[in-house]
Amino acid sequence: MTIERFHSEKEWIRAAQDAALAACRLGRSEGGQTLRFCLAGGSTPAPLYAALASDPEFEAECADIRLELWLGDERQVPPDAPERNAVMIRRSFAPALPGGFWVLPAELHPWPDLPASEAARLYAQELEAASGGLPVFDFVLLGMGADGHIAGLFPGDRSALECRSAATAARAPAEPAVRMTLTFPVFDAARAVVLFVRGRGKAGAVAALARGDVDLPAARLRHGDARILYLEDSLGKNGE
C-alpha cells in the first residue's frame, strides 16, 4: 500500500480522476464491454464524482462501453434519506446517469431497501450474477474514517471483518449503526484500489498504516497495489 500526500484539493481530485481513467483504459484495452466501479459513500468523494461527471475525457473513455456503478457499503436508512450513500452518488453523478444532461451508459446499483442481512445476501447475488462469480472490479474507491474503517468494515466488528462472502451486514459505532458492506475478498480481487482520504483527523490512521499497524481495518487490505491519496487539511476531520 502506497501513501501519496497532497496539499492541493485540485491535485488530489485530479490524481483520483487519473486513477479512474487508467482503470477505464485498461478495461477497454482488454476488450471488455463492461466496466465495473465500486464507489465510496460519505462526504469526501462527492467532489470527485462531480469532477468525473463533468470530465469530457472520462465521458469519451466510457462512451461506447457499459459502466456499472456499485456501492461499497450502505446505511440502513430509508432509500431517500440524505444519509444514504446512493442518494449522494446519484446526485453527484446526475449528469452522467440515464436521463441526465450527459448521455453515458452508466448504471447505478443501489443496495436493496431490506433488513441488512437480507440486503447483503441479495446484493451479493446480484453482483456475482453480473460478474459471473467472485466480482472483479475494474476500480474500487474507498474512504477511510479516523478509526481506520473502510466501507462498512469497522474496528471490533469481527463478523464483518472476517467475512469471506461478497457482502455482509455490519455495525458502526455511531448511528446509523446498521450497515451493509462489501468485504475484503471483493476489494482484494479488484484491478485497482484507491483510498481517497481527507482531513487532519485522519492523520493518525494514515500514520498508523505507514508504520504497518495491523490493528486498523484498512490494514487488512491485501491488494498489493492499493494507493492512499491523502489530502491533509482542516476538512473531513471525522467524516468519510
**pTM > 0.95: yes or no:** no
pLDDT digits (tens, 9 = 90+) for 199-238: 999 999 999 999 998 889 999 999 989 999 999 886 655 5
Residue 237 covered by a domain? no
Range of the domain at 9: 2-231
Least confident window among 52-66, 87-101, 111-125, 181-195: 87-101
What's the CATH code of the domain at 122? 3.40.50.1360
Per the domain annotation, does 238 fall within a domain?
no
Closest CA to 67 of 45, 110, 96, 31: 96
Is there a domain that residue 217 lies in?
A: yes
Query: In this structure, is residue 180 part of a structural domain?
Result: yes
Give me the pLDDT at residue 213, please: 86
In a domain, 176, yes or no: yes
- How many structural domains are present in the chain? 1
User: Quick check: is 47 in a domain?
Assistant: yes
Backbone angles phi, psi at 130, to 5 degrees: -70, -30
CA dihedral 130, 121, 197, 42 (to 10 degrees): 100
